[in-house]
Chains A and B, each alone.
Chain A
Amino acid sequence: MAASSNTGGGRTAPSPEGRFARALRLNGPGYLFLLPWLIGFFGLTLGPTLASLYLSFTDYDLLTSPRWTGLENYEYAFFHDRRLGNAMSVTFTYVLWSVPLKLTVALLLAMVLDRSVRGVAFYRATFYLPSLLGASVAIAVLWRQLFGADGLINQILFMVSGFKGPAWITHPDYALSTLIVLAIWQFGSPMIIFLAGLRQIPQDLYEASSMDGASGWRQFWKITLPLLAPVIFFNLVLQTIEGFKAFTQAYIVSGGLGGPVDSTLFYSLYLYIEAFANFRMGYASALAWILLVIIAIFTAIAFGTSKYWVYYEDESR
């Protein structure tokens, strides 16, 4: 091969083609095994993502080909779309309430379930169950029934207090709160992660501190919380992203309308309506990219502040 002639006697560097062929021969089977993932990633994730970036600069109704409109979609979203402003405020309200409350409930239950009580595995599974079902359509439908005007919640309320409750799910003052309660109820997956985190905390820290006379409350603030901080941080980021993406519950519970009076019009539901009811694929793509940036900003804030409150055992300060 020509390439080998210019190496003056030392080690033989393989030619570019040779190296490539060699690499392929060595790693070919590996890539073959990766192929399903590679096809999935490039074909089903990266491709559509890039396509949506392009579409966000166009006017596209699915029936006719996309027409380039430059920044028009973004300009409309930032300066003219009043419904988007409302969708933002609904989504922020939802995230700001549901995430901290859900994490609190998850942490409390994880601490309860961390003890070695008889049948604790059964309780753990039971408490996790709502999360398996929670995002499903069936539960959203059930929620609609439970919190309806003649639903179970109102029947119990009436029996207990004689007070005739409103249709919680279809009253603009309560509809969003009902969805927040539904979100909190799905505390299962952060709870499991908290449980794993609690197991990592060395027991001798608790033993030593109780010998020094620390109360349970003090142990919680001085040992549990600081050592759990990385796990809390992880759950916070994950749940915040989940919160911004919330869709199924609002879609099913409001019948796909985001009502009443747009009070449950989540960002992703509005995006969906623009795309698949109003057929503005271009504008919906722009909305999707704006949401991506919003989520990225919140995640960045979480990471930026983490050095002030997240303590990793292996780091020295």
Chain B
Amino acid sequence: MSFKMNRRQFGGMMGSAAALSTLASVGAFAQGGAVRLIWWGNPERDKRTLAVVDAFAAAGNGEVIPETYAWGDYWQKLATMAAGGSLPDVLQMDYRYIFEWARRGQLEALDGYFGNEIDVSDYDPNQLQGGVVDGKTYGISLGANSMTHVYNKTVLDSIGYQLPDSTKWTTEDFVNIGKELKGQLPEGMAFTENMGSQEPRLQTWVRSRGKDLYSAEGELAFDVQDVIDYFEYWKMMQDEGLTQPADVQAQDSGKMEERMHVIGKSLVGFIHSNQLVGNQQLMKDEVELVMIPNAGDKPGQYMKPSMFFSMSANAADKAAAAKFISYFVSDPDANDILLIERGVTADASIRERITPGLTPTEQKIISYLNMVNTWVGALPPPPPANAGEIDRALRPAWEAVAFGQTSPKDGATAWYDDAARILKR
């Protein structure tokens, strides 16, 4: 070949080749012993988690590279990383997704590490069971949790009103209390947040009637009439003025700082028990937890693992990842920092150790879960793959009813048909 190159061209080629090789190495920088960790959270959770990461390194256990996102962005980010083969080594998982991710081969079974790298000897076996998929453990519960109603205690105390025993109250009692309190509440505050669009609230509704949202086979396990009743109930609450009008309620897009009870537009709201810490921080008034009123004679609520730590099936250094998971769930120093922000730990000795030092707000969560424990039903089977989409479809369906575009019966039927169709897709 008569291809000649002068010095300047050669230099240019070399330069660009060097630039290319740098590009190629970018993807590999994270290797070399460090454990990559990813979680969803809030500022408070991030602060505590980062402190544990530092403590882990300070104790000479090695480096952890942390990464965090808000709930909504987290699952997109995680799926994209999985598609690109760059999943972090340790992932925070939710009960809603852990089955799907385990069955698609993205997660590492942890049973082999128990007794070796991972110490769960003091763990409540029931809580460990929550992370079992097809006989193998794919996630370790970071804490127990239950859904709950929360109310503004400061306001209710100033009125001098005493709520009845919430382990026994019904949805009818709830309406009557609302009617009694109407007119006594501060200006602009309604009795309750409108929960027509909240899928977990609907779940407690159907469970208290002895049903559930989904069967173990992943089919709808409730009837269209249950949803019709549910929509009619919340439409009646709205028409009675016990909730805010639909357009005000619709301003809540799911963020804690937009919730009706947080911004003083309702007395009662719906949260999960571990969210109380974040909830209380956003409010001047004191809030308190009560159980969710039932629409039938069966227990509507259940205890669930709030979240898990799982390991990626492609983790670079699996022993190191397992060591970090173990440190996170069972090391006293780590849990002195974490406390119960992720839920009440299932490790008995840790729970004993940290309980006395908890703030009054955190104590409320513990006593609430102790109370709830005897009134809950069994953990439901994991939701099917498209359950998230059905959950999201509930909101526009309910809103069409709330804004009077359709009747509760038609709106409920449309959503029910939609849900059945989504499951088949």
The finding on whether chains A and B are genuine partners in a shared complex, rather than unrelated, reads yes
B72 contacts partner chain A, Cβ-Cβ < 8 Å: yes
Interface of B is mostly: helix
Of A103-111, A226-234, A241-249, A274-282, the stretch lying at the interface with chain B is: A274-282
CB of B72 to closest CB in A, whole Å: 7
Query: Digit string of A7-25 for contact with B (CB within 8 Å is 1, else 0)?
Result: 0000000000110010011
Judging by beta carbons under 8 Å apart, are B247 and A171 in contact? yes
CB of A162 to closest CB in B, whole Å: 17
B51 contacts partner chain A, Cβ-Cβ < 8 Å: no
Quick one: which of B384-421 are within 8 Å of A by CB? 386, 388-389, 392, 395-396, 399-400, 403, 405
B79 contacts partner chain A, Cβ-Cβ < 8 Å: yes
Judging by beta carbons under 8 Å apart, are A172 and B399 in contact? yes
Judging by beta carbons under 8 Å apart, are A63 and B389 in contact? no
CB of B36 to closest CB in A, whole Å: 18
CB-based A-B contact count at 8 angstroms? 95
A62 contacts partner chain B, Cβ-Cβ < 8 Å: yes
CB of B231 to closest CB in A, whole Å: 14
A95 contacts partner chain B, Cβ-Cβ < 8 Å: no
B12 contacts partner chain A, Cβ-Cβ < 8 Å: yes
Q: How far is the CA of A24 from the CA of B392 in the complex (A)?
A: 57
Q: How far is the CA of A257 from the CA of B101 in the complex (A)?
A: 24
Judging by beta carbons under 8 Å apart, are B250 and A260 in contact? yes
Q: How far is the CA of A254 from the CA of B258 in the complex (A)?
A: 13
Q: Which of A62, A256, A277 contacts B80 (CB 8 A)?
A: A62
Q: Which of A29, A169, A255, A277 contacts B12 (CB 8 A)?
A: A29
Judging by beta carbons under 8 Å apart, are B16 and A35 in contact? yes
CB of A293 to closest CB in B, whole Å: 24
Judging by beta carbons under 8 Å apart, are B72 and A259 in contact? no
Of B2-10, B212-220, B299-307, B371-379, the stretch lying at the interface with chain A is: B2-10
Q: How far is the CA of A167 from the CA of B251 in the complex (A)?
A: 8
B221 contacts partner chain A, Cβ-Cβ < 8 Å: no
B1 contacts partner chain A, Cβ-Cβ < 8 Å: yes
B255 contacts partner chain A, Cβ-Cβ < 8 Å: yes
Q: How far is the CA of A166 from the CA of B250 in the complex (A)?
A: 11
Closest B-chain residue to A35, C-beta based?
B16
Q: How far is the CA of A64 from the CA of B104 in the complex (A)?
A: 7
Q: How far is the CA of A29 from the CA of B255 in the complex (A)?
A: 54
| Chain A residues whose CB sits within 8 angstroms of the CB of B9 once the complex forms | 25, 28-29
Judging by beta carbons under 8 Å apart, are B4 and A25 in contact? yes
| Chain A residues whose CB sits within 8 angstroms of the CB of B8 once the complex forms | 29
Knowing A277-B389, A277-B392, say if A257 contacts B253 (CB, 8 Å): yes
A170 contacts partner chain B, Cβ-Cβ < 8 Å: yes
Q: Which of B4, B104, B399 contacts A63 (CB 8 A)?
A: B104
Closest A-chain residue to B82, C-beta based?
A63
Query: Digit string of A153-196 for contact with B (CB within 8 Å is 1, else 0)?
Result: 00000000000001101111000000000000000000000000
CB of B388 to closest CB in A, whole Å: 7
Judging by beta carbons under 8 Å apart, are A170 and B251 in contact? yes
Interface of A is mostly: loop
Closest B-chain residue to A265, C-beta based?
B396
Knowing A29-B9, A149-B248, A167-B251, say if A257 contacts B403 (CB, 8 Å): no
Q: Which of B3, B12, B396 contacts A32 (CB 8 A)?
A: B12
Q: How far is the CA of A32 from the CA of B392 in the complex (A)?
A: 50
Closest A-chain residue to B405, C-beta based?
A261
A197 contacts partner chain B, Cβ-Cβ < 8 Å: no
Q: How far is the CA of A257 from the CA of B394 in the complex (A)?
A: 11
A262 contacts partner chain B, Cβ-Cβ < 8 Å: yes
Query: Digit string of B5-31 for contact with A (CB within 8 Å is 1, else 0)?
Result: 100110011001000000000000000
Knowing A257-B253, A279-B79, say if A166 contacts B396 (CB, 8 Å): no
| Chain B residues whose CB sits within 8 angstroms of the CB of A18 once the complex forms | 2
CB of A151 to closest CB in B, whole Å: 10
What are the 5 A-B residue pairs with the smallest beta carbon separation, nearest first?
Answer: A255-B253, A170-B250, A167-B247, A171-B247, A276-B76
With A32-B16, A171-B250, A276-B79 given, can you name 13 additional A-B contacts, CB distance below 8 Å? A21-B3, A21-B4, A28-B9, A29-B9, A61-B79, A149-B247, A167-B247, A170-B251, A259-B399, A260-B403, A261-B400, A273-B392, A278-B388
Q: List 10 A-B contacts (CB under 8 A).
A: A62-B80, A63-B101, A167-B247, A167-B250, A171-B403, A257-B395, A260-B250, A261-B396, A273-B392, A279-B79
Residues of B at the A interface (CB closer than 8 Å) are 1-5, 8-9, 12-13, 16, 72, 75-76, 79-80, 82-83, 100-101, 104, 106, 246-248, 250-251, 253-255, 386, 388-389, 392, 395-396, 399-400, 403, 405
